[in-house]
Structure formats: C-alpha cells, structure tokens
Homo-oligomer: A and B are copies of this chain.
C-alpha cells in the first residue's frame, strides 16, 4: 500500500473545500436555514446529486461547517491568548476578547450559525461539542495563568446560595481553575457579557447606542476582566 496522494485524492480534497467555501458564501447571503445543496451544486457547476459523493446529507454538511466555524474561532482566540502571554492579565483578556469580536464581525453569519438560533430540523451531533468549547477555554486559560501565578485578586463576598457556591467550586475544578467560587462566578459573568454584547452588535440590537462599538466592547471587556480580579500589571 503506497502512501501516495493520487490525483483523484487531491481533486477530492479540493472539491470538498470548494463546496464548503460555497456553503459559507450562501450562509453569508441567506442564513443557515436556507442553505441548500442544490444551489451549492448549481454554483459549482455540478449536478445536485454529485454533492452526495462528498457529503452524506445536508446535515452532514452543516455539521462540518459548524465544526470548522468553532475551530476557526477557537484558533483565533487561542492564538490571541498565547500571543499575549507576558502582558498584563487584564490586557490579555481584552486582547482575546477583541480577537473574538474581530473574527465574528468578519464572519457574522458563521458566528450566528453557532451562537444564533438553532437551525430548524437540525440536531447538532456530539462531534460539535468539543470544538465548541475552545473559545471559552482560551479565555479561561488567561484566568488560570493569573491564578496559578498568584496574581488574581478575588473580590466580592461569598457566593449565595450555598448550593450555587458548591456548584461553582465543582465547576472550577472541572475546568481546572484554582479559584474560589466568587472568582468563578465573575469569570462566567465576564464571559457571557462578551458574547451578549457581541450578539447584540451583530444582530444590530445596539444600533444607535454608541458610534464606536469597538471601544465599547473593549471597555466592557476590561470591566469584566477587572471584576474577575485579573491584574493590570504585566506578570
């Protein structure tokens, strides 16, 4: 069995790419719900049934798109978190948040594919879960680095009620964050704030609120970072 990439295999990989690229183009112009195999085939100059040589079904295509989208966003966030290592923790958080936002604004429909309304009739399989957590873990890694280095200043009282406090403690363990419940809670709040504002911006819900959405986003990210207890001084 020769380990040898045949012309057929190269062509195949290339066509899969073209299908995905075309699918993303249609996502951008019509949204995920109306993504259609027939129109992708049409645009590619194929007959619609030919798509089935590459994807088992429309759902399989959607799954691939979702995974690739999560991975692209995850890459972006991980890179920002890694590249900013050594900066002040607050700056790392803001930088990574900004990277997420920049990616999302460049590909709003892909962002909405994974964070917007579920696509009707489509049930995301388990393969999408792991890639979906990458962005979040990139953000958490910044808090972890700070906590491990002893640079985290926990403020806020104990979390009420006790049951929630325990859940947060357990969660901190699961995601490997050596922080108390109050810091875990602040981290969740800062995390969800990021995606809340970003979602509002992308769906135009904040139109008119402010001119410079980038500045607002960065400022709220900074606020969140400080409430987590991240440090303003470089490590």
Of the four ranges (under 10, 10 to 19, 20 to 34, 35 or more), the interface on chain A belongs to 35 or more
Shortest 6 CB-CB contacts between residues of A and residues of B: A196-B196, A116-B117, A33-B33, A31-B120, A192-B196, A193-B193
Contact A167 B210 (CB under 8 A): yes
Knowing A193-B189, A195-B200, the reply to whether A159 touches B120 (Cβ < 8 A) is: no
Contact A189 B220 (CB under 8 A): yes
Residues of B within 8 A of A216 (CB): 164, 167, 185, 188
Q: Select one of B161, B192, B227 contacting A197, CB under 8 A.
A: B192
Residues of B within 8 A of A161 (CB): 215
- A interface residue numbers (CB < 8 A to B): 30-34, 112, 115-121, 132, 156, 159-161, 163-164, 167-168, 171, 185-186, 188-189, 192-197, 199-200, 203, 205, 209-212, 215-216, 219-220, 223-224, 227
Q: How far is the CA of A33 from the CA of B205 in the complex (A)?
A: 19
Q: How far is the CB of A93 from chain B (nearest CB, A)?
A: 14
Q: Select one of B34, B168, B185, B193 contacting A33, CB under 8 A.
A: B34
Q: A31-B120, A167-B215 are in contact. List 15 more A-B contacts (CB 8 A).
A: A34-B121, A112-B117, A116-B203, A164-B215, A164-B216, A167-B210, A185-B216, A185-B223, A186-B223, A188-B216, A192-B193, A192-B197, A192-B200, A196-B196, A199-B199
| Most chain B C-beta atoms within 10 Å of own C-beta, residue among A117, A118, A199 | A117
Knowing A192-B200, A200-B192, the reply to whether A163 touches B223 (Cβ < 8 A) is: no
